[in-house]
C-alpha cells in the first residue's frame, strides 16, 4: 500500500483535496480547533469511508458510529474506493462539540476529488490464488512468486540496422515490440482535474541506464507512434493523455544482470499538484512497478538439439560430412561457417556459447560471444545476431585473456539436487586453478556475468593442469533413461590402463594404437605392451588421474552425484611443456545430439578386427539407448589439441522449466 498522505482541515474556509482510490488519507483536525472543544463528530457523503484509530492496540473503528472525545492521539482516516465523476463531488464534514453547548461550536468541510491511478504490467501471477493482491513494488522468486519480467532486447529485428536493438533509440520495425514488455498507465477521474495536475513517469538515473521506455503516441501499427521517453539520459517524462484513461508503454531491457546490477529495475508514476503558480508542483501519490531482467540461460547437452554449427576449413571435409550425417540422423538443422569467414579458425565451440532468455510472452535464443577473439570473432555478431536471435559478450578492459576464456571451458550440468537444494536449470561448470594457487582462471568479467544470472550458480573446477585448460577435455553429459536422467562421463587413465592390462593378459599385448591414421607421418604406432611398460607415461597419468579425481569429488558434492551417475571412459594423456594433452583422441570430447553421439575416433588397438577402445565405449553407452558414431578428427583437430566437441556447437531446445519458478 502506498504511503498515507496527511491533509489538514481549516475552520475559516473549506479545504479541497485530491485523493487516490484505495489509498488512505490522514485528516488532521487538530491544527484549527474552536476553544472549548471536548468532542467531535465526522460524517462523509456516500462512497467516503471514514475510520477512527484510537491506538495501535485497538485497531480502527468506523467514525460515523458515535461522537468521539477530542484526543490528539486519535487518527482520522479517509478512504475512497471509486473515482469521482466531477471535481469536489464528495466531502467530509467535521463538527466540534462542547458539553456546555447544545449546538456544534463549528464545522469544517473537506471536499474530495477521487482519482484512480495505476501503473500496471504483467506480474506473472499465473497459478496464484491471490493474484489481485500482490505488491507491485516487490519481485518474488518461486512457484508462488510474482513480478514483471523484462527481456534484454539484444537481437536485431531490422537486418538493415547496423546495431542491436538495445543500442537503438528507435523502434525500427513492429516485430521489435515483441521483445518488449507492456506497461500501462490507467487513470480514472474528472478530466478537469488534469488542468492543474500532471502525471510524471520516472525512474532513477541508475535504472535509466539499464532499460528504455517507449510511449505509444499514435496508431500502434506504425513505428513512428513509439516515442522514446525514458532511458539513459531521460529519467522523467510528463505523460500527455493521448488516449484518455489508458496510456501504453513498451519497455526493453538494455543490460543483463552483472556485477553491481541485481537485475531489478523500478518505474514510478507520480501525480503532481501544479495548481499553485507560486509554488513548485507537489506530489500527491506515487505508484511503482518492479521488473526483473531475465537472465541468460545455458542449455546442457542432454536437451534436444535444434541446430548444429561447424566450420569448413582446408583439411576437414570428411569431418564436416560426418557431422552433417549425424545432424541429419538427429533431425537438426546444420549451419556451416565457410572458410572465408572463419579464416581457418575451426574452434567454433571456443568462440561462443548458445543459450536463451525468456519471459512469459517470449523466448529468445542468445549467443554469448567469448572474449577469445580468434579469427572467428566476427561470426557470432555478423552471422548469428539477427531477427529473434540475440547477442551478448563480455571482454576485460585490458583485453588480457587466457586459453581458459574460450568457451570449451564453459559447460552446464543437467538439472540436479545437491545438499538439499534444487538446481532445476543445472549448474554452470567453468575451469580454473586450485584454491589459493596463482594459475590461470576465467577472466573476472565473464565470471561476474555468469554469477549474476543467479539461476545456474557456477562451480569452478581445476583445469590448470591441462595445456588447453577446458572442462570439456575431461567431462561431458549424456542423456539416460533412468536414474537422474543423465550420466556424467569422466576421462579416466585408470580405466584405460585396466582395459589395456586385460587385453595384454588375453594375449593382445602387441596390438597397436594409431593404426589407420590417414596422411599423418608424424604419428607412430605404439603397442599395448609399450604403453604398459612406459614408466614416464604411467607416472604422468597417475598425476592426471589425481587431478580428475579432485574434480570428481567436487562434482559429486556440488551436483549431488553418486558413483552410479558417473561413467569412467578410458583415456590417456601425455605431457607437453608440463601440461596435459590427450595421448589419443579424447573420447569424452564428443558431440551429443539426443541419442546420437559423435565421438572422436580413438584409433585404439585393433583386436579381432575391432578397436578395443571403441568397443569399450559402446559397451558403456549403448545400454543407455545411445548410438555411437566414431568420427575421424585426428589430423584436423586432435593434432591441434582439440576434438569433435571443440569443433562443433549446438543450439538446443530451452528448458520446459521456467526460471522464475526457482528459488536461487
| Annotated active-site residue in 165, 350, 586, 632 | 350
* Cα–Cα distance, 563 to 222 (Å, whole number): 60
- State residue 1's pLDDT score: 42
For 597-609, give the DSSP string.
EEEE-----EETT
* Cα–Cα distance, 540 to 537 (Å, whole number): 5
* Cα–Cα distance, 417 to 235 (Å, whole number): 43
| Annotated active-site residue in 470, 638, 641, 645 | 470
Give the domains, in start order, of the chain with CATH numbers.
Answer: 5-116 (2.60.40.1860), 122-127+135-293 (2.60.40.1700), 297-655 (3.75.10.10)
Tell me if 548 sits within 8 A of 492, measured CB to CB: yes
Strands (E), 194-340: 197-202, 211-216, 226-230, 236-238, 246-253, 264-273, 282-293, 297-298, 305-311, 333-337
If 0-12 CB within 10 Å is exposed, 13-18 middle and 19+ buried, where does residue 482 land?
Answer: exposed
If 0-12 CB within 10 Å is exposed, 13-18 middle and 19+ buried, where does residue 205 land?
Answer: exposed
Considering the entire predicted model, what is its pTM? 0.93
For 482-532, give the DSSP string.
STTSEEEEEEEHHHHHHHHHHHHHTT-TT-EESTT--S-TT---EEHHHHH
Question: Is 318 a known active-site residue?
Answer: no
Q: Are strands 333-337 and 305-311 parallel, antiparallel or unpaired?
A: parallel
**Minimal CA–CA distance to 648: which of 415, 320, 426?**
320
226 φ, ψ (degrees, to nearest 5): -100, 105
* Cα–Cα distance, 413 to 424 (Å, whole number): 10
* Cα–Cα distance, 266 to 522 (Å, whole number): 63
| Annotated active-site residue in 464, 472, 568, 633 | 472
Residue showing cell 467530509: 92
If 0-12 CB within 10 Å is exposed, 13-18 middle and 19+ buried, where does residue 393 land?
Answer: middle
Question: Is 646 a known active-site residue?
Answer: yes
Question: Which 3 state secondary structure label does DSSP give 286?
Answer: strand
- State residue 125's pLDDT score: 67
Question: Is 350 a known active-site residue?
Answer: yes
Q: Which helix (H) or strand (E) holds 329?
A: helix 317-330
Question: Is 321 a known active-site residue?
Answer: no
Joined grid coordinates for residue 9: 482541515
**Minimal CA–CA distance to 648: which of 255, 192, 342, 274?**
342
* Cα–Cα distance, 405 to 432 (Å, whole number): 10
Tell me if 251 sits within 8 A of 181, measured CB to CB: yes
**Minimal CA–CA distance to 156: which of 336, 383, 368?**
383
- State residue 132's pLDDT score: 58
- State residue 205's pLDDT score: 97
- Residue 375 neighbours by CB distance under 10 Å: 15
* Cα–Cα distance, 410 to 649 (Å, whole number): 12
Joined grid coordinates for residue 46: 456516500
Tell me if 638 sits within 8 A of 600, measured CB to CB: yes
What average pLDDT values come out for the chain (664 residues) when binned by 10 residues? 67 87 88 87 94 75 87 87 95 93 92 95 66 81 95 95 92 96 95 94 97 95 96 95 86 97 97 88 94 98 98 96 98 97 97 98 97 94 97 91 95 97 98 86 96 98 96 98 96 98 98 89 93 98 98 98 98 96 98 98 97 98 98 97 98 98 95
For the chain, the maximum distance between any two Cα atoms, rounded to a whole number of angstroms, is 122
Residues shown for the chain: 664
- How far is CA 79 from its chain centroid? 41
Amino acid at each position: 500500500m502506498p504511503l498515507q498522505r496527511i491533509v489538514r482541515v481549516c475552520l475559516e474556509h473549506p479545504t479541497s483535496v485530491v485523493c487516490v482510490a484505495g489509498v488512505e488519507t490522514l485528516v488532521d483536525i487538530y491544527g484549527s480547533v474552536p476553544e472549548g472543544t471536548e468532542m467531535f463528530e465526522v460524517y462523509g457523503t456516500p462512497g467516503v469511508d471514514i475510520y477512527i484509530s484510537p491506538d495501535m492496540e485497538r485497531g480502527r473503528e468506523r467514525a460515523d458510529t458515535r461522537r468521539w472525545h477530542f484526543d490528539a492521539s486519535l487518527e482520522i482516516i479517509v478512504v475512497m474506493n471509486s473515482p469521482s465523476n466531477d471535481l469536489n463531488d464528495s466531502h467530509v464534514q467535521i463538527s466540534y462539540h462542547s458539553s456546555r453547548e447544545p449546538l456544534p461550536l463549528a464545522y469544517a468541510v473537506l471536499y474530495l476529488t477521487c482519482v484512480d491511478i495505476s501503473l500496471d504490467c504483467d506480474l506473472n501471477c499465473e497459478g496464484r490464488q491471490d493474484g489481485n493482491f500482490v505488491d507491485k513494488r516487490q519481485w518474488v522468486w518461486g512457484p508462488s512468486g510474482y513480478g514483471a519480467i523484462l527481456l534484454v532486447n539484444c537481437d536485431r529485428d531490422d537486418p538493415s540496422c547496423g546495431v542491436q536493438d538495445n543500442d537503438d533509440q528507435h523502434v525500427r520495425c513492429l516485430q521489435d515490440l515483441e521483445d518488449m514488455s507492456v506497461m500501462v498507465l490507467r487513470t480514472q477521474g474528472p478530466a478537469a482535474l488534469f488542468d492543474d495536475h500532471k502525471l510524471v513517469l520516472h525512474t532513477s538515473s541508475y535504472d535509466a541506464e539499464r532499460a528504455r521506455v517507449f510511449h505509444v503516441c499514435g496508431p500502434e501499427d506504425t513505428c513512428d507512434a513509439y516515442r522514446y521517453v525514458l532511458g539513459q539520459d531521460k529519467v522523467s517524462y510528463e505523460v500527455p493523455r493521448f488516449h484518455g484513461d489508458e496510456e501504453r508503454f513498451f519497455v526493453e531491457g538494455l543490460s543483463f544482470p552483472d556485477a553491481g546490477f541485481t537485475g531489478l529495475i523500478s518505474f514510478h508514476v507520480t501525480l503532481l499538484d501544479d495548481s499553485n503558480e507560486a509554488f513548485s508542483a507537489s506530489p500527491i501519490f506515487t505508484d511503482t512497478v518492479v521488473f526483473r531482467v531475465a537472465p541468460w540461460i545455458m542449455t546442457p547437452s542432454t536437451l534436444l538439439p535444434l541446430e548444429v554449427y561447424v566450420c569448413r576449413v582446408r583439411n576437414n571435409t570428411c569431418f564436416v560430412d560426418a557431422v552433417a550425417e549425424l545432424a541429419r540422423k538427429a533431425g537438426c538443422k546444420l549451419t556451416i561457417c565457410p572458410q572465408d569467414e572463419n579464416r581457418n579458425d575451426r574452434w567454433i565451440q571456443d568462440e561462443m556459447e548458445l543459450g536463451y532468455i525468456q519471459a512469459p510472452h517470449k523466448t529468445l535464443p542468445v549467443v554469448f560471444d567469448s572474449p577469445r577473439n580468434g579469427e572467428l570473432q566476427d561470426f557470432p555478431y555478423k552471422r548469428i545476431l539477427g531477427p529473434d536471435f540475440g547477442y551478448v559478450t563480455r571482454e576485460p578492459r585490458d583485453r588480457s585473456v587466457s586459453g581458459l576464456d574460450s568457451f570449451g571451458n564453459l559447460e552446464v550440468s543437467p538439472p540436479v539436487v545437491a545438499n538439499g537444494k534444487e538446481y532445476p536449470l543445472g549448474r554452470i561448470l567453468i575451469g580454473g586453478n586450485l584454491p589459493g594457487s596463482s594459475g590461470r582462471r576465467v577472466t573476472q568479467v565473464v565470471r561476474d556475468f555468469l554469477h549474476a544470472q543467479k539461476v545456474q550458480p557456477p562451480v569452478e573446477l581445476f583445469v590448470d593442469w591441462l595445456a588447453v585448460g577446458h572442462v570439456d577435455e575431461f567431462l561431458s553429459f549424456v542423456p539416460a533413461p533412468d536414474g537422474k536422467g543423465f550420466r556424467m562421463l569422466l576421462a579416466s587413465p585408470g580405466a584405460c590402463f585396466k582395459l589395456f592390462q586385460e587385453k595384454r593378459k588375453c594375449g593382445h599385448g602387441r596390438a597397436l594404437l594409431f593404426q589407420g591414421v590417414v596422411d599423418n607421418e608424424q604419428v607412430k604406432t605404439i603397442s599395448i605392451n609399450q604403453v604398459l611398460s612406459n614408466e614416464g607415461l604411467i607416472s604422468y597419468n597417475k598425476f592426471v588421474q589425481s587431478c580428475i579425481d579432485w574434480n570428481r569429488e567436487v562434482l559429486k558434492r556440488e551436483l549431488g552425484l553418486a558413483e552410479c551417475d558417473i561413467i569412467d571412459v578410458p583415456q590417456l594423456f601425455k605431457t607437453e611443456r608440463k601440461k596435459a594433452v590427450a595421448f589419443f583422441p579424447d573420447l569424452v570430447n564428443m558431440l551429443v545430439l539426443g541419442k546420437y553421439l559423435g565421438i572422436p575416433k580413438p584409433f585404439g588397438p585393433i583386436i579381432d578386427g575391432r578397436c578395443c577402445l571403441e568397443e569399450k565405449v559402446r559397451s558403456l553407452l549403448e545400454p543407455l539407448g545411445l548410438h555411437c558414431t566414431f568420427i575421424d578428427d585426428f589430423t584436423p583437430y586432435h593434432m591441434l589439441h582439440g576434438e569433435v566437441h571443440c569443433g562443433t556447437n549446438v543450439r538446443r531446445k530451452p528448458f520446459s522449466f521456467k526460471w522464475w519458478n526457482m528459488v536461487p
